[in-house]
Amino acid sequence: MKKKDNLSFYENVQRNFDKAAAHLTYPKGILEQIKECNAVYQMRFPVKVGNKIEVIEAYRVQHSHHRLPTKGGIRFSHHVNQDEVMALAALMTYKCAIVDVPFGGAKGGVKISPREYSVEALEKITRRYTVELIRKNFIGPSNDVPAPDYGTGEREMAWILDTYATFKNGSEIDAAGCVTGKPVNQSGIQGRTEATGRGVFYGLKEICDDKDMMKELGMDMGIAGKTMVIQGMGNVGSYAGSISQNEGDVKVIAVSEIEGTIHDPNGLDMDKLIKYRKKNGTIIGFGKSKALKVREDWVGLECDILVPAALESQIHKGNAKQVKAKIVAEAANGPVTSEAEDILNKKGVCILPDMYLNAGGVTVSYFEWLKNLSHMRFGRMEKRFNQNTYNKLLNSVEELTGKSVSARDRAMLIKGADEVDLVRSGLEETMINSYQQFIQIYKRRKNITDLRTAAFVCALNKVANDYTTLGVFP
């Protein structure tokens, strides 16, 4: 899709790949194999909507099979096209590699605008799409595992599981692992819905606690007190905003949505704003905020951190010069085009790349898949054991010191971990560890001058190593 810039989304991803590949010495064939999409399935199927028969255009792309299953969300949007799905599938490969999730990359897309369909019609389309995937073996716990993306959520994932399990006629014991992002009562996992937004927060916290990076950007240490502007208040944007505000003391000063952009330099209460939009169907008129005349002007607002969390190509060569933020946090996939990136790099703006920053979703999807294969919730075996051990330990401390802790403190100190505690802890560990991996490449290799290239180099090293050790079919 051409959009203001000369390169399509997929061409942007390929260009970023080439930039990073120039720093690597693997045989050309290995890099070529990684770069291209392994399998592209374009489908059209009829669905009866009301009295009409509609022919729906849809895709599933598997970018890399170096690890299986492949993994990637399903997008429902009228913008969906093959180029977009290929770009998103490729990003999934690099994203999984960055956060050490042992999957290849994939992505799905259905070219519909969900707002224009009833729930019944959406269910029919989702189920029919799933059947098409089953027919071609493009879904299954060991080969390809979808998840939510733009325009889909846990409801659609539950329909996918039900369709898959029905077709397998109860014969596949791990059927629940055919899709992630399911509702918790349908084999989902606590903490998946918030995971991408929470990961964005952990990633931002990491860079703000990085002395070298803060010095380079001329910013104060720590995330507390930083100002933030968010585009897109869907799954990712809402959680990123509210968790950053509640756990990081960030001030969200503007939010842009489809109906317009609101701004309040004193800060918007994200939790109240989310409720307000649910009730009123708009963010306009919230609290003391003022609506901007031009929705797109969120790009140029004065702030520390700009968070595009809607769609790709939102910061392009036409508006990149307006950016005043020091950090652009890519919560969405591909929100900054490569031509815009050249402009931002020249301005000294730091882009925290999508393949790292929004990897929280796939990380917790991985935990959900593991839970489905083990058929047991996390924490079930050890929670009480740990609680009893901590209790005994505390009793001994009290006995030895002759002092006792309050009942409230005792409850807090001896608490064993629930599933959601373990998921959050695993996600935080992943985001910290992955940050350290690519930031070291950035800091050590002086010829790598931006974080995206460093992240790409980190990811490509891992995928190339896999291909090298797998060997190539003779």
In the complex, residue closest to ligand NAD by CB:
234
For residue 347, give both structure tokens.
């301005």
Rule CB under 6 A: say whether 358 interacts with ligand NAD: yes
Angle at 189 between CA 187 and CA 190, to 5 degrees: 140
13 touches 91 (CB < 8 A): yes
315 to 354, contacts with ligand NAD by CB under 6 A? Answer: 331-333
Rule CB under 6 A: say whether 108 interacts with ligand NAD: no
For residue 442, give both structure tokens.
């950035």
168 to 187, contacts with ligand NAD by CB under 6 A? Answer: none
Give CA torsion, residues 451, 100, 433, 309, to 10 deg: 50
Strands 251-257 and 227-231, sheet pairing: parallel
Rule CB under 6 A: say whether 149 interacts with ligand NAD: yes
For residue 332, give both structure tokens.
């969405």
Rule CB under 6 A: say whether 241 interacts with ligand NAD: no
By C-beta, is 64 or 358 nearer to ligand NAD?
358
88 touches 163 (CB < 8 A): no
The region of 231-239, 284-292, 395-403, 414-422 touching ligand NAD under the rule CB under 6 A is 231-239
Closest CA to 7 of 448, 452, 334: 334
The region of 26-34, 41-49, 252-260, 431-439 touching ligand NAD under the rule CB under 6 A is 252-260
Closest CA to 3 of 353, 316, 334: 316
The region of 45-53, 253-261, 414-422, 450-458 touching ligand NAD under the rule CB under 6 A is 253-261
* CA 334 and chain centroid, separation: 11
Q: Would you please indicate which residues are annotated as catalytic (active-site) residues? A: 107
| Among the listed residues 104, 105, 141, 148, the single contact to ligand NAD using CB under 6 A | 148
The region of 145-153, 205-213, 214-222, 399-407 touching ligand NAD under the rule CB under 6 A is 145-153
| Among the listed residues 21, 161, 213, 233, the single contact to ligand NAD using CB under 6 A | 233
Query: Which spans in 82-194 are helix H?
Result: 82-98, 119-135, 154-168
Rule CB under 6 A: say whether 156 interacts with ligand NAD: no
* DSSP β-bridge partners for residue 282: none
Question: Residue 386, SS3?
Answer: helix
By C-beta, is 331 or 422 nearer to ligand NAD?
331
Rule CB under 6 A: say whether 361 interacts with ligand NAD: yes
By C-beta, is 237 or 248 nearer to ligand NAD?
237
Binding site for ligand NAD (CB under 6 A): 148-151, 196, 231-237, 256-258, 309-311, 331-333, 358, 361
